[in-house]
């Protein structure tokens, strides 16, 4: 909801599409237009397949990577959530981390055994895995900015290092930009960090808040997807016209001016969080990129899942409950990202700053 709730342009686009119909079981002109906009913003995407969710996008991209390379193993990162496909739920973040749910109940050992888990920002882990399983790793899948262990930024050289090691080993690099795509830059994390993946997974902003997903990448890889190639994937409701219409209206509104605004908004909220915590004497680390951020209740830096888990979840929960009566709803988990939108104007931000000050003052009151 990068434009806020019920932005007029998106509402009008959905309304207009409703008059024309909302499912046809066939490709539509809107899908082609949306794919063209995506490719313009992300030149690494030569061809694109629309699906219904981020889970479908990552699941399909992994299947395609295995088929394209003839290899079985997949490297992912601890705390990285890539949807609820069996092989991707191993050591996942997001709700799995929040609820303390084991990553693999209901998942057979065979489905999990080809998933290798490395530490985020630890390039050496990936290099070691490549050496242990030479010519067996089909792909490395990564959220270029982690959003499901809380917001965790890549360290300098990490993403570029992944690009190098996958290229050298004959593996594919998959960017899961379901969260970061069109959120942190016009061309997503791959534009912001200057690293080109082989395959990209998209969702959320792509549909203006309606259910949608997509995966795309180099033409020689994508042409292996049916009907052009042998890798089967299909969905009757994929590229749903309502989600496509909402996505087109959203992307068309996201120009460079909007991203400058979102950067300023994100910086203002991060500063307000840090100041309120400092005044109250509460250890807090704020990780932010653009309009997505997480306030970790810990004094140490947060660079991976292990350091994220050092945060005080009990204190986070109490802080969350203090904010609710003030009319502020943060994500109800220490391990989720908070997102800001263009609807957060000066009045909304001033309201939020006041609520944050009050919420941390509550910590002082509790101590007394």
The catalytic residue positions are 81, 176, 204
C-alpha 243/C-alpha 188 separation (Å) is 20
- Give whole-number Cα distances, 16 to 7, 21, 24, 27, in Å: 14, 9, 16, 18
On whether the CB atoms of residues 62 and 85 are closer than 8 A, the answer is yes
- Give whole-number Cα distances, 89 to 102, 105, 107, 111, 113, in Å: 9, 10, 9, 10, 12
For the four alpha carbons of 320, 321, 326 and 331, in that order, the dihedral sign comes to positive
On whether the CB atoms of residues 159 and 120 are closer than 8 A, the answer is no
- Neighbouring residues of 282: CB distance < 8 A, sequence distance ≥ 6: 297, 315, 360, 363
C-alpha 26/C-alpha 23 separation (Å) is 8
- Neighbouring residues of 121: CB distance < 8 A, sequence distance ≥ 6: 152, 154, 155, 158, 303, 304
C-alpha 209/C-alpha 193 separation (Å) is 25
Can you state the angle between helices 241-253 and 8-20, rounded to 10 degrees?
A: 150
Burial class (CB in 10 A: 0-12, 13-18, 19+), 130: buried
């Amino acid at each position: 909801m990068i434009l806020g709730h019920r932005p007029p342009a998106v509402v009008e686009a959905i309304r207009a599409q409703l008059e024309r119909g909302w499912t046809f079981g066939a490709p539509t002109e809107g899908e082609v237009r949306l794919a063209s906009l995506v490719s313009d913003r992300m030149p690494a995407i030569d061809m694109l397949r629309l699906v219904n969710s981020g889970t479908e996008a990552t699941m399909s991209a992994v299947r395609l990577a295995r088929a394209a390379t003839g290899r079985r193993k997949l490297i992912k990162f601890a705390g990285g959530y890539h949807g609820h496909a069996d092989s991707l739920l191993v050591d996942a973040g997001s709700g799995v981390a929040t609820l303390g749910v084991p990553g693999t109940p209901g998942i057979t050992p065979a489905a999990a055994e080809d998933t290798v888990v490395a530490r985020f920002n630890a390039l050496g882990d990936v290099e070691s895995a490549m050496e242990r399983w030479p010519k067996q790793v089909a792909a490395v899948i990564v959220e270029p900015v982690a959003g499901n262990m809380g917001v965790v930024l890549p360290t300098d050289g990490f993403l570029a290092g992944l690009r190098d090691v996958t290229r050298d080993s004959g593996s594919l690099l998959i960017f899961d930009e379901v969260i970061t795509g069109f959120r942190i830059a016009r061309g997503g994390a791959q534009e912001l960090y200057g690293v080109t993946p082989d395959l990209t997974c998209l969702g959320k902003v792509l549909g203006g808040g309606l259910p949608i997903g997509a995966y795309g990448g180099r033409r020689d890889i994508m042409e292996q997807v049916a009907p052009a190639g042998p890798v089967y994937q299909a969905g009757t409701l994929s590229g749903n016209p309502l989600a496509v219409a909402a996505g087109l209206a959203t992307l068309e509104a996201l120009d460079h001016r909007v991203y400058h605004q979102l950067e300023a908004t994100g910086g203002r909220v991060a500063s307000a969080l840090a100041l309120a915590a400092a005044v109250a004497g509460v250890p807090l680390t704020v990780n932010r990129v653009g309009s997505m951020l997480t306030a970790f209740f810990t004094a140490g830096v947060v660079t991976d899942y292990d350091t994220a888990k050092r945060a005080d979840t009990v204190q986070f929960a109490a802080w969350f409950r203090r904010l609710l009566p003030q009319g502020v709803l943060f994500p109800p988990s220490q391990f989720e990202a908070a997102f800001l939108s263009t609807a957060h104007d000066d009045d909304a931000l001033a309201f939020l700053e006041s609520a944050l000050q009050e919420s941390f003052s509550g910590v002082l009151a509790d101590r007394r």
